[in-house]
Structure formats: C-alpha cells, structure tokens
Amino acid sequence: MRGPRQVLAAVLAVILVPVLLAAVEAGGIERVKKAGVLRVGSDITYPPFEFMEAGKPAGFDVELAQEIAKALGVKLEYVNTAWDGIFAALKAGKFDMLLSGITITEERIKSFDLVFSQPYFESGQGVAVRMGDARIKKQADLAGKVVGVQINTTGQAAVEKVKGVKEIKKYEQLPEAYLDLKARRLDAVVADYPVIVSNAKEDGKFTPVRGLQLGEPELLGIPVRKDEADLVGVVNKVIQDLKKSGKYAQMKQKWFGEK
Ligand code: ARG
C-alpha cells in the first residue's frame, strides 16, 4: 500500500535524482581526480594568506589548499597569477579554484559565474601610514590625501566610498603601493587589515593605523566555476573537518597569531 508519504517521496525522487546526478556529472570532482592535480590560482604577494618563502608558496591559504588537495586525493599546484584578471582566468578554466584572500561579493558571483565556498575567514580593510605620521587617525582624515590600493580589490571599493579623498592610485600589486608610501608619493595604503599588519611588521617603515578599519567586515571565500559547484562541497567539508579537529584554530594561531 502506498500512503501519501511514499507518494511524495517517490515524486521527490523523480524530480531530485536527475538534478543531483546532473550536479555530480557536470562537476569538477571527477575532472580534478582524473587530472590527478588541483590547480589553485593565487596572487602570492599577500601575507600571511600567501607569500613566497625560500622560493615556495607559504601561508594560511596555501595550507588550506594542501588540505583540499589531500581530501581530493590529488597533488597541489599553487600557481602564481596576476590579481587583476584572476576571476577571468578562473572562468576561462586556467584554474580549478582560487585561494587568494578573496572577499565574497555579489558582483564577483554575477560577473564571473562563480560559486563561493562557505566563508573561511573574517577580514576587513585597514589603513597603513608611514611610521611617525600622525595625520590620519580616523576615516575623515583621508580627505585631501592620496591613497594607494591594489587594483580591483574590495580595498579600492572601500576607499571609493570615502568622501574627499584627493586621489586613489591603483597598483597591480600591494608591495608597489608600499614603495610609493615610503617615497611619500602616497599618504596612506588601504588593504586587508591582517595583511597590512603582517607587511608592516616585516617592513618596519610603515604602520597600520590602529582601530581604523574602512567599510564593513568582509568574509573570505574560495570560488569555483558554477558548473563545477560540486567542488564547493569538498571545500566546505575540509573547512568543517579542520574546525572540528582543532587544526583550524592551530592554523590561525600559526599564521595570524590568533584563534
Ligand atoms: N580581500 C580583497 C579582495 O578580495 C583583496 C584580496 C587580494 N588578494 C591578493 N592575494 N592580492 O578584493
């Protein structure tokens, strides 16, 4: 005898199974496994997320990518690429996913047919100034100033919203902006706060403006192409498992000095 429950279940199965199968068939997991390698695109100039250390990529994102490759049973290729154009490169199939301290934005999802993983880090934009320069203490102090950003980042978007900024200079890479800051061609640099903290410590000639964060908190995620959305399932599981085992807290402590 078939009750209403069984009928519903049967109907659901008829509707859902092909959808699920399509998602699995069209997906990236099979393709990546066959290739035997996970190709991750990244602008490797953004410590402590990704940077070169003794000729090799290192950082929080790199370790996370290693865990994802391990979960897929493939080897990892962490490929350096220009930040400007990184999403177009993913869309064009140059990479399987991106790990590059990337903020999840509606605009990126729409413009590049992306799907993001669950957020893996909470970030936000901070301001850096030359050591000993006390002119900038709050957002309004950026009025009349020349501010450097990495092109097409959420940092650029945040500065564009600040009223009265004299000029926004856009750089291909963040280290170029710091050079201009130190050479007094810029008054301030805006980028992800944890990155500024790390850069400032390393360099010793500029400093983050403590307590000055621009715009909203931002969530970082790992984008894949929409037709390979099944890869997000693997990524999310890796993140959840790392959190459960306590390894995630260790990784944060190691790279950011926080839990
Ligand atoms: N979180 C910022 C954004 O998504 C900046 C990321 C820049 N990443 C990098 N590796 N340079 O726009």
The three-state DSSP-derived secondary structure of 202-218 is: HHCCEEEEEEEEEEEEE
What confidence score (pLDDT) does residue 234 get? 96
Write the burial class of residue 224 (CB in 10 Å: 0-12 exposed, 13-18 middle, 19+ buried): buried
* pLDDT reading at 21 higher than 60: no
Q: Which helix or strand (DSSP H or E) is residue 58 part of?
A: strand 56-58
Q: What distance in Å separates the CA atoms of residue 202 and residue 190, rounded to the nearest whole number? A: 17
Which residues are registered as beta bridge partners of 223? 116
* Residue position matching structure tokens 């992800």: 192
Q: What distance in Å separates the CA atoms of residue 242 and residue 216, rounded to the nearest whole number? A: 27
* pLDDT reading at 24 higher than 60: no
* pLDDT reading at 9 higher than 90: no
For residue 230, what are the contacts with CB-CB under 8 A and spacing of at least 6?
23, 24, 26, 27, 28, 29
Distance of CA 50 to the CA centre of its chain: 10
Q: What distance in Å separates the CA atoms of residue 218 and residue 90, rounded to the nearest whole number? A: 21
Mean pLDDT of 169-186: 98
Cα of 153 to ligand 1 centre, how many Å? 6
- Region of poorest pLDDT, from 2-6, 99-103, 173-177: 2-6
What confidence score (pLDDT) does residue 26 get? 58
Mean pLDDT of 80-106: 98
Question: Which residue in 250, 222, 196, 210 sits closest to 65, CA to CA?
Answer: 222
* Residue nearest (by alpha carbon) to ligand 1 atom 12: 153
Cα of 102 to ligand 1 centre, how many Å? 5
* pLDDT reading at 144 higher than 80: yes
Q: What distance in Å separates the CA atoms of residue 204 and residue 182, rounded to the nearest whole number? A: 11
Distance of CA 225 to the CA centre of its chain: 15
Instruction: For residue 20, name the pLDDT band (cuts at 50, 70, 90).
Output: low
Looking at the CA of residue 102, tell me the nearest atom of ligand 1: 4
* pLDDT reading at 47 higher than 60: yes
* Length of the chain measured in residues: 259
Q: Does residue 119 contact residue 223 with C-beta atoms inside 8 Å? A: no
Question: Which residue in 124, 85, 117 sits closest to 99, CA to CA?
Answer: 117
Question: Which residue in 95, 102, 64, 69 sits closest to 80, CA to CA?
Answer: 95
Q: Which residues line ligand 1 (CB under 6 A)?
A: 43, 45-46, 50, 83, 100-103, 150, 153-154, 192
Give 27 or 237, the one with higher predicted confidence: 237
| 57 phi and psi angles, rounded to 5 deg | -65, 135
Q: Domains, the chain, ranges and CATH?
A: 4-120+221-256 (3.40.190.10), 124-216 (3.40.190.10)
Quote the pTM value.
Answer: 0.89
* pLDDT reading at 230 higher than 60: yes
Q: Does residue 239 contact residue 248 with C-beta atoms inside 8 Å? A: yes
Cα of 103 to ligand 1 centre, how many Å? 7
